[in-house]
Chain A
Amino acid sequence: MNPHNVSNEQLVQFVLGELRSEKACEIEQHIRQCEPCRQAVGRLRSLLDCAGRMGSLPANEQMSESANREVLLAAETQSKDQPRRGIQSRAALVGRMIMSNRVAKLAVAAVVAVAVILGLSLFTGDGAGKAYAKVVDQLHRARTLTYSLVTRTGVESMPTVRSDIAYRDTGQFRTVTTDGYITVAEATETGAKGISLIPHTKSYVVFEMTNVPDDPAKDPWATVERLRALPARASKVLGRREIDGRMLDGFDVHEDDATTTVWIDPKTGQLVRAELEFAGAPGMNMILSDFQFDVPLEDSFFSFQPPEGYTPVQVTADVSEVTERDFIEFLRLWSNWTVDATFPPTVNGPDIAKIAVQMAQEGKFVGPYAPAYGVDRTPQVMYRGMLFIGPLPTGTWRYAGQNVRFGDPAVPIFWYQPAGSPTCRVIYADLHVANVPPQNLPK
């Protein structure tokens, strides 16, 4: 009760329009003269306005279709499990949600792939340790290799990705996520080809990447070869520690902005665990465990034959001759894809993959792919656009497109200086390009 002969209840009824007209007039007159009551009414109206804004957030059809599919899949899974499982963990839920979005799934795959590339490239360096050297030798000689991989992305709302990896030294890979998504791939002369199975839609994607740049850092197959060719000595011996109830010997390898820690069982000399961390991706780490060497892997394990009843989706990605036009097309695609027609928050490859997943979860895209590009072209255009940025030397380019909407021809969003050119290329928010002397660049 407030001290002005009008109860809080009456003020609430007044604001909700529940009072009879005489009483409402009476209250209205009162609050004209009574500052505290006028303020109280103002606060009530602010509260209801705020609630009204919260109420304007309906789920769109696509979100609900995705959620419905997930819950039906989970229900089906529960029906099959004995004993019946509890509710899936949030990570598993989010993982399935992400994996139900093809592009987001590709983005996760990109994050994982980049991490693998970065991580595996760490196994170079110099140091000491016979046990370490023995493991390296085992990796080098392995005909087949299987292990579990847990990737934490470092983004709170992103899932921890768990998968089982199998590799055969004939250049074949197979990954299976805990949610049952299977990818089988093998190296080709100009890139890679493979198949991904999407169980909940009973579909499969056959992919073939051609003209992959001849750069081992971009080729996952080459990086595995590097893993198998680990140097015989680590850079630092960590000593013995207890991990998961086992006493293990640790060895660190430092290279550039990443650290790899290898843990070996001193009793058996076996590689037990490897941990990868990346200074350029804070919070991201990968844990490799359950290594098995030279276990028989049947040809059928790496088969490109989809299960019966699965329907195909074809994806082809030609990554040759990436140019500025590819980058502009990538910017155009992103602004076409986002709900508010803005450009990407960053153009850094690993970051953009993480951000794409996060934005997909937050409903900031108009759909699972950019409408003007379709399901097949979206990942290809994204990939080619990111490839343009990669080789540009640090300090020769700058991106300023964060929070900028497509359309304003006066707002520069990206500029870079091509090698040997006296002028810079500036891309504006309407995606036209101009040559600008360095002294005239935006500050």
Chain B
Amino acid sequence: MSNMSFENLVNEHGRQVLSTAMRVLRDANLAHDVHQEVFLAIWRRWHRYNGDVNWPAYLYRATVRKALEMAHRRMNGHGRVAPARGSVADGPDAVMQADELQQKLAAALARLPRRQADAFVLSRLEGLEAAEIAGIMGCSEPTVRVHLHRAIVRLARELHDCLGQ
């Protein structure tokens, strides 16, 4: 059993989980869904955890996975992942283009192999260093870079027509 209470876990890491989900999904409702699903999944197995769980890493992995699953489900369902907004200083065309690109990037992320998507989200959306990501993903830093590079190449290929140039 974990030494930390479930309530403390939620209060200590809830914002991180919600923020990560928001960054991937850009939709407060869906981010709340992810937040709830991640924590309730933990709650159902709470008695099995011992005291040495690396909760930040665990929650990052679980959140990114759940958020991408949700993005994938939304892409295949009736809904769509809501677009984020560009900077308020941008003109309407730029904002619209930014919306469209972010929406397509979210869709492409949801189609990536899981490890590549994890590496991309943790690196480029969460801004974590390779060493931190390696700790979260349970692999070496070079492996993180391989996953990240492959993710970038694949995303750039999929979004070729939307990225300009």
The chain A residues found within 8 Å of chain B, CB to CB, are 8-9, 12-13, 15-16, 18, 38-40, 42-44, 46-48, 50-55, 57-59, 61, 63-64, 67-68, 70-72, 74-75, 78, 84, 87-88, 90, 93-94, 97, 156-157, 340, 361-363
Query: Mostly helix, strand, loop or mixed at chain B's interface?
Result: helix
B20-39 vs A: 1/0 string, CB under 8 Å?
01111011110111011101
Complex: A59 Cα to B14 Cα, angstroms: 10
On whether the beta carbons of A340 and B32 are closer than 8 Å, the reply is no
Q: How many residues of B contact A (CB 8 A)?
A: 55
CB distance from B1 to the nearest CB of A (A): 15
Q: Is B93 interfacial (CB-CB < 8 Å)? A: no
Query: Mostly helix, strand, loop or mixed at chain A's interface?
Result: helix
From A39, A54, A55, A70, give the contact of B36 (CB < 8 A): A70
Closest 3 CB pairs of A and B: A42-B165, A64-B15, A51-B124
CB distance from A223 to the nearest CB of B (A): 32
On whether the beta carbons of A87 and B37 are closer than 8 Å, the reply is yes
**Please, which residues of chain A bring their CB within 8 A of the CB of B148?**
16
Complex: A88 Cα to B37 Cα, angstroms: 9
B93-107 vs A: 1/0 string, CB under 8 Å?
000001001100110
On whether the beta carbons of A8 and B14 are closer than 8 Å, the reply is no
Given the known interface contacts A47-B163, A55-B126, A71-B39, the answer about A363 and B19 at a Cβ–Cβ threshold of 8 Å is: no
From B10, B102, B156, B165, give the contact of A72 (CB < 8 A): B10
From B11, B33, B163, give the contact of A93 (CB < 8 A): B33
On whether the beta carbons of A67 and B29 are closer than 8 Å, the reply is no
Complex: A75 Cα to B43 Cα, angstroms: 7
**Please, which residues of chain B bring their CB within 8 A of the CB of A40?**
156, 165
Given the known interface contacts A12-B153, A55-B125, A340-B88, the answer about A157 and B29 at a Cβ–Cβ threshold of 8 Å is: yes
On whether the beta carbons of A43 and B165 are closer than 8 Å, the reply is yes
Q: Look across to chain A and name the residue whose beta carbon is closest to the beta carbon of B105.
A: A50
CB distance from A203 to the nearest CB of B (A): 19
CB distance from B117 to the nearest CB of A (A): 12
CB distance from A387 to the nearest CB of B (A): 30
From A47, A78, A156, A340, give the contact of B152 (CB < 8 A): A47
On whether the beta carbons of B28 and A18 are closer than 8 Å, the reply is no
**Please, which residues of chain B bring their CB within 8 A of the CB of A94?**
29, 32
Complex: A188 Cα to B11 Cα, angstroms: 43
On whether the beta carbons of A9 and B36 are closer than 8 Å, the reply is no
Complex: A74 Cα to B149 Cα, angstroms: 40
On whether the beta carbons of A87 and B19 are closer than 8 Å, the reply is no
On whether the beta carbons of B28 and A362 are closer than 8 Å, the reply is yes
